[in-house]
Amino acid sequence: MSLPDSPLRVAGADPGTSGLDLLILQNGAVAEQVRFSPQELQADPARPVHWLEERGPFDLIAGPSGYGLPLVPAAELTDHHLDLMTLVRPDDRGEAQGVLGFTGLLRALRASTLPVVFLPGVLHLPTVPVHRKINRIDLGTPDKLCVAALALAQHAVLPRATFCVVELGSAFTACVVVEQGQIVDGAGGTAGAVGWMSGGAWDGEFAYLLSPLHKRDLFRGGVRDLPGGQGMQVFRESLLKTIAGLQAVTPFTEIVLAGRLLEHETTLATGVVADLGRLGRVIPLEGLAGAWVKHAAQGAALLADGLAGGHHAPLVEQLLLTEAWGSVLSWLHHPAVANATGWLRPSVPGTSP
């Protein structure tokens, strides 16, 4: 793919419980960046849209993608797409939970004329074997895919290597496995290791006893809810078990470590590095020159640049990003899903496109 004659101007976004980050790249270099707090987003979900509009025009923007869509432009975003990105049951809507103002932000982006595209999650990628997707929704959300993309772009020893990216977020913990430069596996959110806010993979009996669960329940049970030093013990051991399990399937010797938790919980970070050192060489993820926003926003901007035909087009091609397909419901196989009506019914049945 040939590079454009004029400098590209793109942006990437990372929504999270600790705020929304935006990063603008001008011809591959950091131009501007900003962070909106949860309170700012709750007060005015369209504020990031206005910020972008004031700094346009853009060739492409990788928008905040929730649980992911296979490169759907904002102009084509339907209400069903919104459901798939947020995954909140109709009976559970209207409460302040999860990423504050997220649905309002998505609607504002849809109503704008900004060239926004929504990125896929790990589940949508054709490089992940189908059997690893069965009865899974979160193998790594789009922001985790973006962190892996940044790792591939930033570490010269990794572009075609096999390694694991571990992001210790302010709410969830996620692991993404890269084999020969392509994403092949992952464990994220409520299907993965314990997080700072999230209890990690659920015990089905526990979920049954608490049912009907609410979205806010997915953000509880983590380190901050556990007594004394138990939280740290549970966190570290859960992470070690998760990564060792992934390593047993796809052997790797490098572990790339990222996430905001590393910045705020230095004692925990030191323990995690020591633990993971038993499994391989631990490499801290380096950010782009001049960037201070979250790694996921940086990776999203790189993918926007690549999708627009810029310097990182080979990265997009390597990840087979344009071949992503399906929805987060496409690989669910359970009688309750098969008999469901309305928005829960998978939009792409079966296991083939």
Residues constituting the chain: 353
Tell me the pTM: 0.93
Confidence label for 288 from pLDDT (cuts 50, 70 and 90): very high
The pLDDT of residue 157 is above 80: no
C-alpha 309/C-alpha 316 separation (Å) is: 9
- The confidence score (pLDDT) of residue 261 equals 85
Give phi and psi for 174, each to the nearest 5.
-140, 145
Pairing of β 254-258 and β 163-168: parallel
For residues 60, 64, 66 and 70, what is the CA-based torsion angle, rounded to 10 degrees?
0
**What is the mean pLDDT of the segment spanning 216-228?**
91
pLDDT at 53 over 70: yes
